[in-house]
Amino acid sequence: MKLTLNVWRQSGPNAPGKMVRYDMPGVNEDMSFLEMLDVLNESLIVKGEEPVTFEHDCREGICGSCGFMINGKAHGGFPKTTVCQLHMRHFKDGEELFIEPWRASAFPLVKDLMVDRSAFDRIIQAGGYISVPTGSAPDGNAIPIPKSNADRAMDAAACIGCGACVASCPNASASLFTAAKVAHLNLLPQGQPEKFDRALRMVTAMNEELFGSCTNMQECEATCPKGISIENIAILNRHFVEASFSERPATAEVGAG
Amino acid sequence: MTLNSRIPGGPIERAWQTTKFNMKLVNPANKRKYHVIVVGTGLAGASCAASLGELGYNVTAFCFQDSPRRAHSIAAQGGINAAKNYRNDGDSIYRLFYDTLKGGDFRAREHNVYRLAEVSVNIIDQCVAQGVPFAREYGGTLANRSFGGAQVSRTFYARGQTGQQLLIGAYQALERQVASGQVKMLARTEMVDLIVIDNKARGIVTRNLITGKLEIHMADAVALATGGYGNVFYLSTNAKGSNVTAGWRAHKRGALFSNPCFTQIHPTCIPVSGEYQSKLTLMSESLRNDGRIWVPKNAGDRRSPDQIPEDDRDYYLERMYPSFGNLSPRDISSRAAKRVCDEGRGVGETGLGVYLDFRDSIQRLGENAIRERYGNLFEIYERITGENPYKVPMRIFPAVHYTMGGLWVDYHLMSTIPGLFVLGEANFSDHGANRLGASALMQGLADGYFVAPYTITNYLAETKLEKVSADHAEAKGALENATNLTNRLLSIRGKKTVTQFHRELGKIMWDYCGMARNKQGLEFAIGRIREIREEFWQNVSVPGSGSDLNQQLENAGRVADFIELGELMCLDALDRNESCGGHFREEYQTPEGEAQRDDENYAYVAAWEYKGENAAPVLNKEPLSFEYVKPAQRSYK
Ligand SMILES: Cc1cc2nc3c(=O)[nH]c(=O)nc-3n(C[C@H](O)[C@H](O)[C@H](O)COP(=O)(O)OP(=O)(O)OC[C@H]3O[C@@H](n4cnc5c(N)ncnc54)[C@H](O)[C@@H]3O)c2cc1C
Ligand code: FES
């Protein structure tokens, strides 16, 4: 089939950007979206032009590297699908597509369709972990965990950190991303000791990174390629509020001489 | 070169404990005076960097993705082995050791494998404590499943996303160290050379993938955890970015490369669909717990699968290997698939496929039970092929998946360059000629959490390390080397794209150094690869410049290394006149068509030494001796 692509081209964060039109004849319906861009890039290189920069690695929907807007929808807006998992059979012959990077102040543009999502790493640094140094763990079966809790934690932990939630949110909020991590850890017995600290610190970090706040638009859940539920945001809010009331910062340990 | 594997004496059950006890320690106050570089943040690298940070070392970690969380380990689906014996089904450290050694067709070092089995139990504990949401039984205890090459149920899993969850666990531990300032994380930074001073690894040269800037980083020790090289075949189940560059450049600086020809072809992948194909997708081996593999009995039977009656089906794995059946090891299952396809009994449009059929287990357990176990895998399959595997059997075909070969390391995971440690898939150490399912995750985490932090400490404590700076002639030389390479790639301005060369190389590798190899084919392949290499350096087209983000330039450097590695793989395969594990030389097979090992002449680790751009590499041998498990013809019948 034949498609027309309009791709955002911008050589760097400070350079001007614009949409560039490319005709794509001979698109095979079994190709993935990224394979179609590969074909475009190969043809650009042969013509001596610069290929389109986009991020990708696993190409099976798990690493979270890929992601851009197709016709204004994150990852194209297909249910539970990243662009690398999106196959061309979902498009119609003759269709015109508009391809743009994630747009959010917390995700500065790097080049073409690539943005900088390191803010996500910094949110995790603020508390998205359980403090258990290597070697200090009890036997794996020492703490039984009800299957339903383990399953709910796993549902939240399935987040791939792609950023679609931010890109699709009218406020560019990172609440779903942050909530998924807080819920994953706070639903497990292992996560209890740092539960409140975690909620407080991660929310603070999120706000410092220029993400917007959540006004319950629910776009994030709709576009999340892993189907992460906004119930997690409710958990985050609850723990955050409880933490704000009850939490005192842990007193620093003082050596007794 | 003499290879000292530093295998400890005494009974194998005590070997690691004794080694640890005899190791030198660095006192807590002194640890912060040392700087260790960890290249790679997959399971092996992230776990190692986090553990070293916790110990108090100054660590700098590198990865080429935009975040450490995206390393290729994230894609592992099926599970991780551990000798917990929670099922009371007769598992033990010794049995896991035995299975792994036998699974590797007796081409691994006994002591390394034993240690791996021994620390496997600690890994599960560590990961559970980190919050890895492993599957649970209703009673709240950890669940298990079975994997190929084992008759016990010892594989722990988190749905079909075990690698993701384990990596996120290690990543979070790493980020905790980043937050504390103990680890400095440099993402989007690729190692392009190793700095060796006074015969010790003392740093690396990197390229900042955003600015293109080449930089020197000095250290007291360097750990490479840069993953496998399956992408030498172009099409593989590896992530697109997986590459051999860090290991290969270290090889050129003196680290020996071991058993490069030992590659694993995974039996259950989604078949190739067209020319544009950029990678292959694995269907986890765990599916073989409930799926049955078959092809039509008669060649040329083109009926749709539901029209083929039971009597006209050949469940060939169950027929040929009744005791392991559909859970036969990967090398054996892959070759069996190739054989039935060669006989014209393959299915699908290309004839390069076999069925993996869930009809019987859906009847037995119900669709929901199957969905619960494999839902996400079924979804992946349907997405790619447009077919519903609850209704139509999956079509699968073998694909390149894992590389057992890698940089040679001793028992301490140190390469032939002192101070250069190699962890995870990047080293050659534990899987011999074939890796069993669910044991790569185990090895990566064993190396990173429980082995390297000890052995690196020991190295730092017992080695006199002179102060060296980035002004050292060797460091500057390595930087200049990297600059020249970039300039050379950019100045060719030829007519063929990097990907075109990569595809060409991959096809040669798959046809002649893939599931079956023979002398004539390998000799032909070596000739062709040399031609490809020559043409590459005259005719490759790398657009853009070296001083900004340039994905084509990144890829060009990686493909250049793959071309050189490909030649070495063929040389290694040609030299090994036996069949073992994933290395199947057609000339050496039993009357039933199984791999015929030659223990008398080939019970050794091949360790290749680089001798210069146009010089033949030199083969060194580390003999393997088996005191605990006597090598036998591997039988899964
Ligand atoms: C699809 C798939 C499924 C699998 N399923 C299983 C399974 O179920 N069970 C199992 O046990 N094993 C499985 N495996 C194998 C297993 O996932 C890998 O062997 C293992 O994860 C490798 O981990 P690693 O840490 O050694 O390397 P990787 O995870 O590959 O990490 C490599 C790291 O090195 C970095 N890097 C590489 N080169 C450079 C460079 N030059 N400069 C800077 N950084 C660099 C990368 O950025 C990355 O961070 C699977 C493999 C695949 C492909
Ligand atoms: S490339 Fe990994 S999720 Fe798309």
Q: Which residues pair with A74 in a beta bridge?
A: A69
3-state secondary structure of B90: coil
Ligand nearest to the CA of B241: 1
In Å, how far are B283, B321, B328, B356 from B318, measured between CA atoms? 19, 5, 9, 13
Asked if the Cβ–Cβ distance from A110 to B210 is below 8 Å, we say yes
Whether CATH 3.10.20.30 fits A3-111 = yes
Residues (pLDDT < 50) of chain B are none
Say yes or no: A222 contacts chain B, CB-CB below 8 A: no
Q: Whose CA is closest to B424, among B73, B127, B158, B115?
A: B73
In Å, how far are A89, A196, A238 from A245, measured between CA atoms? 52, 10, 11
Q: Which two tokens stand for residue B72?
A: 């290729």
Q: Which two tokens stand for residue B161?
A: 């996303």
Q: What is the DSSP string of B593-616?
A: S-B---HHHH-EEEEEE---TTSP
* Structural domain that includes position B339: 266-400
What band does A256 get if pLDDT is binned at 50, 70 and 90? Answer: very low
Q: Report B:166-195 residues touching A (Cβ under 8 A).
A: 168, 171-173, 175-176, 178-179, 185, 187
Q: Is B379 among the domain residues?
A: yes
Q: What is the DSSP string of B226-290?
A: ----GGGGSSSSS-TT--SHHHHHHHHTT--EE-TT-EEEEEEEPPP--TT-----B--GGGGGT
3-state secondary structure of B297: coil
Q: Atom 3 (ligand 2): residue with closest C-alpha?
A: A61
Residue type, A49: E
State the pairing for strand pair B420-422/B221-224.
parallel
Which atom of ligand 1 is nearest to B282's Cα?
1
**How many whole angstroms separate alpha carbon B109 and alpha carbon B125?**
26
**How many whole angstroms separate alpha carbon B584 and alpha carbon B586?**
6
Cβ of A151 less than 6 Å from ligand 2? no
CA dihedral over B443, B445, B448, B450, signed as positive or negative: negative
**How many whole angstroms separate alpha carbon B69 and alpha carbon B72?**
9
3-state secondary structure of A35: helix
Ligand nearest to the CA of A84: 2
> Is residue B313 within 8 Å of residue B294, measured between CB atoms?
yes
Q: Is B581 among the domain residues?
A: yes
Give start and end residues of each alpha helix (H) in B429-518.
Answer: 440-445, 452-462, 473-492, 498-513
Count of CB pairs separated by less than 8 Å, A with B: 212
Say yes or no: A125 contacts chain B, CB-CB below 8 A: yes
Q: Whose CA is closest to A237, among A178, A192, A184, A185?
A: A178
Q: Is B90 among the domain residues?
A: no
Asked if the Cβ–Cβ distance from B239 to A39 is below 8 Å, we say no
Residues of B in contact with A42 (CB under 8 A): 497, 499-500
> Is residue B184 within 8 Å of residue B114, measured between CB atoms?
no
- The strand order across the sheet containing B257-258 reads B406-407, B257-258, B604-609, B618-623
Q: For residue A146, what is the DSSP state?
A: -
What band does A250 get if pLDDT is binned at 50, 70 and 90? Answer: low
Of A28, A131, A147, the CB nearest to B276: A28
List of residues 6+ apart from B602 with CB closer than 8 A: B576, B577, B578, B580
Ligand 1 pocket: which of B63, B263, B401 to mutate (most atoms <8 Å of CB)? B63
**How many whole angstroms separate alpha carbon B588 and alpha carbon B602?**
13
Q: Is B506 among the domain residues?
A: yes
Say yes or no: B490 contacts chain A, CB-CB below 8 A: no
Q: B345 φ, ψ to 5°?
A: -105, 10
Q: Which two tokens stand for residue A98?
A: 């508009």
Q: Is the pLDDT of residue A246 over 90?
A: no
**How many whole angstroms separate alpha carbon B48 and alpha carbon B40?**
10
The tens digit of pLDDT for each residue in A93-127 reads 999 999 999 999 999 999 999 999 999 999 999 99
The tens digit of pLDDT for each residue in A34-91 reads 999 999 999 999 999 999 999 999 999 999 999 999 999 999 999 999 999 999 999 9
User: Last residue of a domain, which of B369, B400, B431?
Assistant: B400
Q: Is the pLDDT of residue A257 over 70?
A: no
Ligand 2 pocket: which of A32, A58, A102 to mutate (most atoms <8 Å of CB)? A58
Say yes or no: B27 contacts chain A, CB-CB below 8 A: no
Break chain A into its structural domains and give their ranges.
3-111, 117-246
Asked if the Cβ–Cβ distance from B383 to A143 is below 8 Å, we say no
What spacing in Å lies between the alpha carbon of A59 and ligand 1's midpoint?
14
The tens digit of pLDDT for each residue in B452-472 reads 999 999 999 999 999 999 999
What percentage of chain A exceeds 70 in pLDDT? 96
Say yes or no: A147 contacts chain B, CB-CB below 8 A: yes
How many C-alpha atoms does A62 have within 13 Å on its Cβ side?
A: 26
Say yes or no: A28 contacts chain B, CB-CB below 8 A: yes
Sole residue written with tokens 């600290």: A197
pLDDT score recorded for residue B550: 97
Asked if the Cβ–Cβ distance from A46 to B497 is below 8 Å, we say yes
User: Last residue of a domain, which of B356, B372, B400?
Assistant: B400
Q: Which two tokens stand for residue A172?
A: 């560019």
Of B137, B179, B281, the CB nearest to A147: B137
Cβ of A64 less than 6 Å from ligand 2? yes
> Is residue B303 within 8 Å of residue B296, measured between CB atoms?
yes
Ligand 1 pocket: which of B66, B73, B183 to mutate (most atoms <8 Å of CB)? B73
Using CA atoms of B565, B571, B574, B575 in order, give the dihedral in degrees to the nearest 10: -120
Q: Whose CA is closest to B49, among B249, B185, B194?
A: B185
**How many whole angstroms separate alpha carbon A241 and alpha carbon A235?**
10
pLDDT score recorded for residue B284: 83
Cβ of B162 less than 6 Å from ligand 1? yes
What spacing in Å lies between the alpha carbon of B533 and ligand 1's midpoint?
27
Q: Whose CA is closest to A54, among B246, B278, B41, B75?
A: B278
**How many whole angstroms separate alpha carbon B259 and alpha carbon B568?**
10
pTM of the model: 0.96
> Is residue A157 within 8 Å of residue A184, measured between CB atoms?
yes
CA A83 to chain centroid, in Å, comes to 13
Cβ of B222 less than 6 Å from ligand 1? no
Give me the number of domains chain B comprises.
Answer: 2
Same domain for B578 and B486 = yes
Which atom of ligand 2 is nearest to A225's Cα?
3
CATH of domain A117-246: 1.10.1060.10
Q: How far apart are the first and last CA of chain A?
A: 77
State the pairing for strand pair A73-74/A69-70.
antiparallel
Same domain for B388 and B275 = yes
Cβ of A20 less than 6 Å from ligand 2? no
Same domain for B590 and B485 = yes
Residue type, B7: I
CATH of the domain at B329: 3.90.700.10
**How many whole angstroms separate alpha carbon A161 and alpha carbon B391?**
33
Ligand nearest to the CA of A35: 2
**How many whole angstroms separate alpha carbon A173 and alpha carbon A171?**
5
The tens digit of pLDDT for each residue in B241-260 reads 999 999 999 999 999 999 99
Of B51, B70, B158, the CB nearest to A154: B158
E strand or H helix at B355: strand B354-357
Range A195-220 average pLDDT: 96
Ligand 2 pocket: which of A56, A81, A113 to mutate (most atoms <8 Å of CB)? A56
pLDDT score recorded for residue B376: 81
Asked if the Cβ–Cβ distance from B75 to A121 is below 8 Å, we say no
pLDDT score recorded for residue A247: 60
Q: Is B292 among the domain residues?
A: yes
User: Last residue of a domain, which of B400, B431, B463?
Assistant: B400
